Structure 1
Amino acid sequence: MRYLKIFFIISICIISGCQMDSGNFSIDYEKFTLDNGLEVILHEDHSDPIVAVATVMHVGSNREKPGRTGFAHFFEHMSFNDSENVPRGANRKMIPEWGGIRNGGTWNDGTIYYEVVPKDAFDKILWIDSDRFGYMIKTVTEEALEREKQVVKNEKRERVDNAPYGFTNEIIIKNLYPLGHPYSWTVIGELEDLQSAELTDVMEFYEAYYGANNASLVIAGDIDIVKTKAKVLQWFGEIRKGPNVQPLGPMPVNLDASKSLYFEDNFAKLPELRMVFPTVENYHPDVQALNVLSKLLENSKKAPFYRVIVQEKRLAPAVSSYQSSKELAGEFVIRVRANANVDLDSVKKAIDEAFELFEKQGFDDKELQKIKAESETNLYRGIETILDKAYTLVNDNEYAGDPSYVVKRADLINKVTREDVMHVYNKYIKGKSYVMTSFVPYGQTSLIVEGAQKAEVFQEQIVANIENEEVSQGIEAVYDKTPSIFDRSEPELGELPLFKMPDIWVENLPNSGIQIYGIENNEIPLITFDITLNGGHFLERIEKSGASVLLADLMMEGTAFKTPIELEEEIGLLGASVNVYSGNEEIRISATCLAKNFNATADLVSEILLHPRWDQSEYDRLRQKRITQLKGNLSNPTNIAYRNLNKLLYGPEHVYSISANGTLETLETLTIGDLESYYEKNISPDLATLHVAGAIGRNQVIKAFDYLDKNWKMNERSAIEQTNIIQKADHKLYFIDVPGAKQSVIFVGKQVLSASDPLFNQLSYSNEILGGGSSGRLFQTLRIEKGYTYGAYSFIVESNEVSPFIAYSSVRANATSSSLEIIESLIKNYSRSFTEEEVAITKNKLIKSNAGSYESLSDKLSLLRKMSKYKKSSNYLEEDQDELINMTLIDFKSVIDQYLVEDEMVYVVVGDKESQLSELDKMNKGMAIELDKYGNRIN
């Protein structure tokens, strides 16, 4: 149910090339076409007992008409609700209960539906997926139509209206493309168009575009191709063939003159400049050169945008540029989200200077080599999971006419030359017209580019009550079922795939004693590894919050032996990625590389860890970058709610009451000396664990880290004792004002227990029915029954410290008080209403979801991290599974009663005070206490 600007995962991921023999790489598949025109691609992969199904309908927002915009995305939503042979709501509810995942997405050129399930549910997913595809239209009712309008409108409010910079895309495309061009309206459409949609519109759209001959279907995973062919014929062979859909040819645009527009953004806290140049459609010969150009301009410390805008002028913490090619046309985008109070005229001037620098100095051959060197790594990363493979095959079949186009794409990138790059720069960028937007915080029009014209944007008015928007699913449609020669009733489950832990080896480096956890996996020639150090934010004094995060940032800015440019270049030429991250409880340096480059990558990681470069200038830049990010977060209602809930739950004395990123106050006082002090005390081998997953064995790993093992000395440090966690909130309901908010963000929580507590698993299992995805009660009630929200979920934070239970949602502003009452009731009545049937559902869902939970190398690394962090055995998932199997209804109710006590919950609401606060004050939680965005009490 996502709307996507573009869904070509591989096209986005592989935007660089490498010196590789792409002819040695392939994804084996078999392709055939049914009599109804449906093109089918099958791929057999027995690595994990799971199956992925992906269907692309060749219809996106580009097939809509003015006045009926947003319809492709809206129809995607409708498709999930009901169908002739499947119970209403089964798609969202039953697939997760089988241990699977499911969703869909719409973009300008198409719509995708996808699922991944354990192999025992293979027949069931074919039943559900084929029924959604071919047998849903008779089940659509007026009531369902009206309910789904509210859901889609909520999605637009959440992702566009209530989001900083949310209207940027709408303003750009309306000025880039001429009136009537298929890209001149947004994928999600206009609210008034959605509201005026009628049942006949749904029928007409289905008839025109949802025929089998306008789609591609991929089934990939643990299948038998011969048997699967027969299943496909049975389930999909009778789906109707629709009218021929005439292909749309390329529709590139040219601008007669540049356009400059501005918008005062109620949610933005930082000024942002975007420039968009019209370019070419996907699969055009110039696309890969444009992709390479975008990286040469911004993706390294040598890049002109970085040098001028970030390093020299310090106008912004980062710059991004990218080529976005779609079916009919393309766009070359430059985006600069500047530091607070920066005049965007200075940003525009700096961009022009950077272009001049590029024209004058060109680019280094190593930069081109580095971009290409990443291609082989990204090629394998892009098909690491079975769903990745399904995406790749189905999209390239439908739009390139070749499921294996990924190989050609890699080869095309490899062939990009210096001349190709300069050709596309001169043809599409230099001296060409563009659309430019200045987005500034409300009331700061002095920051816009001089001469910019005010952009006109329709903004929904907040309605004070929900009486006119109260909707429900209504009664089911009455119709004659479409005849079929096959039995289309629900098939039985197949044989249950039992989860088995991968083989894990554990070793210690001989000198430092660092423990290594490893999984050898040779499916692809990649290795992912990390060195995790216990500590992170937890080892900071509260007034030094943010030090560990800044240290992690600084460690990637060169070493004692390499400048930042040299370090970046060496990593890039290996085609590797290396990152340092700091969170609440750890600092982690992680890397992914080709197996053949493991030793060289391990050497670089060791150098980064042991020999930091204490560069004051880089520190100053990074500190300013973090300050800018914190200021930007003050515009995000979800961030505001989550941050302040933590502050209320942990209390002002505990370090977790403050984000690991620190606050504006702590960052202002931190010095590079604080980072050096943290490093000296806490970057020590006795706090470190090494995790490795991929195409490598233990002896090679030990040998590769010989230098680290012999040269990393233990540090002496004084322990920091954090305050015991006692929930500090002294009130039930808190409100934070975001004037004009179209939605209210609700966070509810209370402290429960640590992940090392013997009851943590049981509490986590018990949460599934309440908020564990689209089948949970929160989602089913607030979205499916009421249409108040786009999503509602709950979870238990996993941490060594005592941590909270959290439930959250973003709801329509005028449904705030009603939503709070529903959440309160669902939590209060959760234990008493928990049933034996839900015990069985929880067990089935969680046990079967293990089948695909550790498919990728990063998943395997996560398994190892959990094992080392919580001192679990190498069979811990099987032990957890046994614990779940043995839980009774009494066990579920007992842990819910003990920890999910509604009277102890704290509620934080972020929304529009003028329209919502008085309604909240009428609730039985007492008067809401107002907080500012920093958590300070106002009244």
Structure 2
Amino acid sequence: MHFTLEEHTLANGLRVVVQPDHTTPTVTVNLWVGVGSRHEEPGRTGFAHLFEHLMFQGSAHVDNGEHFQALMGVGGRLNATTWFDRTNYFETIPSGALELALWLEADRHANLLAAVNQANLDNQRDVVKEEKRQRYDNQPYGQALSTVYATIFPEGHPYHHPTIGSMEDLDAASVQDVHDFFTAHYAPDNTVMTIVGDVTAERAVGLVEQYFGHITHAAAPRRGPVAPLPPLAEPVRVEVLDEVPNDRIHLAFRLPAEGGDTRQEFLAASMALDCLGGLSFSPLEQHLVLDQQVANSIDVGAMGFVDGVSLGLVVADVAEGVDTDALEEQICAELTAFADEGPTPEQMEAVRAQAERGWLSSLAAKDERADIIGHYTCLHDDPEYVNTFLDRLGEVTPDDVRAAAHKYLRPQSRAAVVYRVAQQQEEVA
């Protein structure tokens, strides 16, 4: 499968990637803005995520909530997300509504600040606080990942704090602070627009030029990535006593950055985690969940970041009556054995097939395809990665996977965040 991509950069720096696909009469517009929580300064956390909300609250020529109403009214669907390295905005609409979508996007990307007043800021601060209560504070293990980030990445590191940010920082933010953040980051030369669907490249680029070409504002200078973080030299841990359903072990590891010279090494480390716990016959799954039944479940995964480091995770739900420390020791023993011996041919074949299947499944949908293209264009300057990933996957050898596990997934390099069930106090009659 090969996708034909047309690239064009406007005079104002906006990078446009078009992938025509006439299979259905729909178009996806996806914008990746190069600002996430890693770009926030101390005392100003949560701003990137706040803007994901503010961008739907109106702009110079669009009323509060009208962005959603206008596109949903023509049969479209739309949303936005915030992460460490970026914020993205996306909609899939009937092809006849492409101009409407571009006009709406241009108005908020060029003229948002006309609508960012004290009332809107206060309203969206409250919305973010409620989201934090629901997703973080009042969910079992809701603070687990935030604790992982704070434990494995040092104070002051770009990935030390979660994207939701600090509510104290948001409470202290003035309208001017918020305006300054938008001015520094939301500009054509810090944005990638991907258009996938029922439109020719010529028409798509022409429409983007028509609606975005007049925006001349430039983003503040981008800083380079921070120095790479090596694996932890010795284990660190945080114990959390909480009212949770069962004990849960989170083991986190520093992995290499997803892009640049370490791209293949990151892929090998990701495949190592999948070999360890991502298959029905992976050692963590087979030995600890199926055979010994000391864990209810084992989940593994790699989060690819760009600022000098990425993150690998092994998460185990402890079975009732099982000693949590003993289970952690068993997991560590499996990590050591894998780092010493490497993957079996069967594991490599299955992990490669699983990754290929997931990749092709994602590319089948226009909205996911647009997001993948935007990801690798914005963060890695490589839109063609959509066509080369499977080749790169095939180039990873068993020795590469063993070497990555040996370097990054040794037990002594782990940050452990362990949740333990808080014992209920017996009522005294």
TM-score (norm 2): 0.93
Say whether 1:286 aligns with 2:265. yes
Match 1:146 to one of 106, 118, 122: 122
Provide the residue aligned with 2:327 in structure 1. 347
Provide the residue aligned with 1:333 in structure 2. 313
Distance (whole Å) between structure 1 residues aligned to residue 229 and residue 342 of structure 2: 28
Match 2:404 to one of 424, 439, 453: 424
Provide the residue aligned with 2:240 in structure 1. 263
Identify unmatched segments of 5+ residues in structure 1. 1-24, 446-939
2:248/2:315 contact within 8 Å kept: yes
Query: Aligned-pair distance for 1:409?
Result: 2.2
Once the two structures are superposed, residues 399-456 of structure 1 have per-residue CA deviations (whole angstroms, 9 ceiling, x without a partner) of 12121112322211111111111111111122532210111223379xxxxxxxxxxx
Match 1:410 to one of 372, 387, 390: 390
2:298/2:316 contact within 8 Å kept: yes
Query: Aligned-pair distance for 1:301?
Result: 4.0
For 1:308, the aligned partner's letter is H
1:308/1:354 contact within 8 Å kept: no
Distance (whole Å) between structure 2 residues aligned to residue 34 and residue 357 of structure 1: 53
TM-score (norm 1): 0.44
Provide the residue aligned with 1:316 in structure 2. 295
2:279/2:351 contact within 8 Å kept: no
Say whether 1:83 aligns with 2:63. no
Once the two structures are overlaid, the 10-residue window that deviates more, 249-258 or 398-407, is 249-258
Query: Aligned-pair distance for 1:245?
Result: 2.8
Say whether 1:103 aligns with 2:79. yes
Say whether 1:437 aligns with 2:414. no
Say whether 1:211 aligns with 2:211. no
Once the two structures are superposed, residues 94-121 of structure 1 have per-residue CA deviations (whole angstroms, 9 ceiling, x without a partner) of 2212211111000000000001111222
Query: Aligned-pair distance for 1:340?
Result: 2.9
Match 2:21 to one of 28, 45, 50: 45
Provide the residue aligned with 1:566 in structure 2. none
Distance (whole Å) between structure 2 residues aligned to residue 336 and residue 98 of structure 1: 45
Once the two structures are superposed, residues 362-385 of structure 1 have per-residue CA deviations (whole angstroms, 9 ceiling, x without a partner) of 432122122223344333211111
Q: 1:411 to 1:432 in 2, by over 3 A?
A: farther
Match 1:115 to one of 65, 74, 91: 91
Distance (whole Å) between structure 1 residues aligned to residue 424 and residue 323 of structure 2: 10
Q: 1:41 to 1:361 in 2, by over 3 A?
A: closer
SS at match of 1:232: helix
Q: 1:439 to 1:348 in 2, by over 3 A?
A: same
2:59/2:113 contact within 8 Å kept: yes
Distance (whole Å) between structure 2 residues aligned to residue 355 and residue 65 of structure 1: 36
Distance (whole Å) between structure 2 residues aligned to residue 301 and residue 209 of structure 1: 44
Provide the residue aligned with 1:521 in structure 2. none
Say whether 1:132 aligns with 2:108. yes
Say whether 1:177 aligns with 2:156. no
Distance (whole Å) between structure 2 residues aligned to residue 427 and residue 167 of structure 1: 28
Distance (whole Å) between structure 1 residues aligned to residue 354 and residue 65 of structure 2: 43
For 2:348, the aligned partner's letter is L
Distance (whole Å) between structure 2 residues aligned to residue 404 and residue 321 of structure 1: 28
Once the two structures are superposed, residues 45-100 of structure 1 have per-residue CA deviations (whole angstroms, 9 ceiling, x without a partner) of 11111111010100000010111111100012111111112233211222212211
Query: Aligned-pair distance for 1:359?
Result: 5.1
1:250/1:281 contact within 8 Å kept: no
Provide the residue aligned with 1:383 in structure 2. 363
Query: Aligned-pair distance for 1:250?
Result: 4.8
Q: How many residues align?
A: 420
Distance (whole Å) between structure 1 residues aligned to residue 155 and residue 59 of structure 2: 37
1:80/1:89 contact within 8 Å kept: yes
Q: 1:350 to 1:57 in 2, by over 3 A?
A: same
Once the two structures are superposed, residues 797-820 of structure 1 have per-residue CA deviations (whole angstroms, 9 ceiling, x without a partner) of xxxxxxxxxxxxxxxxxxxxxxxx
Provide the residue aligned with 1:67 in structure 2. 43
Distance (whole Å) between structure 1 residues aligned to residue 126 and residue 411 of structure 2: 45
For 2:238, the aligned partner's letter is L
Distance (whole Å) between structure 2 residues aligned to residue 299 and residue 36 of structure 1: 44
Say whether 1:306 aligns with 2:308. no
Provide the residue aligned with 1:872 in structure 2. none
Once the two structures are superposed, residues 485-507 of structure 1 have per-residue CA deviations (whole angstroms, 9 ceiling, x without a partner) of xxxxxxxxxxxxxxxxxxxxxxx
Provide the residue aligned with 2:379 in structure 1. 399
Query: Aligned-pair distance for 1:275?
Result: 0.8
2:188/2:215 contact within 8 Å kept: yes
2:342/2:398 contact within 8 Å kept: no
Pairing 1:227-242 to 2, within 5 Å after superposition:
227-242=203-218
Distance (whole Å) between structure 1 residues aligned to residue 192 and residue 345 of structure 2: 41
Provide the residue aligned with 2:178 in structure 1. 202
Provide the residue aligned with 2:249 in structure 1. 273
For 1:314, the aligned partner's letter is Q
Match 1:253 to one of 229, 248, 258: 229
Q: 1:47 to 1:301 in 2, by over 3 A?
A: closer
Pairing 1:421-820 to 2, within 5 Å after superposition:
421-443=401-423
1:26/1:404 contact within 8 Å kept: no
Q: 1:87 to 1:361 in 2, by over 3 A?
A: closer
2:77/2:91 contact within 8 Å kept: yes
Provide the residue aligned with 1:296 in structure 2. 275
Distance (whole Å) between structure 2 residues aligned to residue 227 and residue 336 of structure 1: 51
Once the two structures are superposed, residues 809-861 of structure 1 have per-residue CA deviations (whole angstroms, 9 ceiling, x without a partner) of xxxxxxxxxxxxxxxxxxxxxxxxxxxxxxxxxxxxxxxxxxxxxxxxxxxxx
1:216/1:397 contact within 8 Å kept: yes
1:252/1:279 contact within 8 Å kept: no
Provide the residue aligned with 1:613 in structure 2. none
Q: 1:429 to 1:377 in 2, by over 3 A?
A: closer
SS at match of 1:114: strand
For 1:389, the aligned partner's letter is R
Distance (whole Å) between structure 2 residues aligned to residue 224 and residue 307 of structure 1: 50
Distance (whole Å) between structure 2 residues aligned to residue 377 and residue 109 of structure 1: 26
Distance (whole Å) between structure 2 residues aligned to residue 379 and residue 359 of structure 1: 26
Q: 1:66 to 1:125 in 2, by over 3 A?
A: same
Distance (whole Å) between structure 2 residues aligned to residue 377 and residue 253 of structure 1: 32
Q: CA RMSD in A?
A: 1.8
SS at match of 1:398: helix
Distance (whole Å) between structure 1 residues aligned to residue 177 and residue 152 of structure 2: 28
Identify unmatched segments of 5+ residues in structure 2. none
SS at match of 1:108: coil
1:271/1:341 contact within 8 Å kept: no
Query: Aligned-pair distance for 1:196?
Result: 1.6
SS at match of 2:72: helix
Distance (whole Å) between structure 2 residues aligned to residue 261 and residue 375 of structure 1: 32
2:196/2:370 contact within 8 Å kept: yes
For 1:326, the aligned partner's letter is F
SS at match of 1:397: helix
Q: 1:407 to 1:92 in 2, by over 3 A?
A: same
SS at match of 1:84: coil
Once the two structures are superposed, residues 276-317 of structure 1 have per-residue CA deviations (whole angstroms, 9 ceiling, x without a partner) of 111111122301111110111112343221233113321112
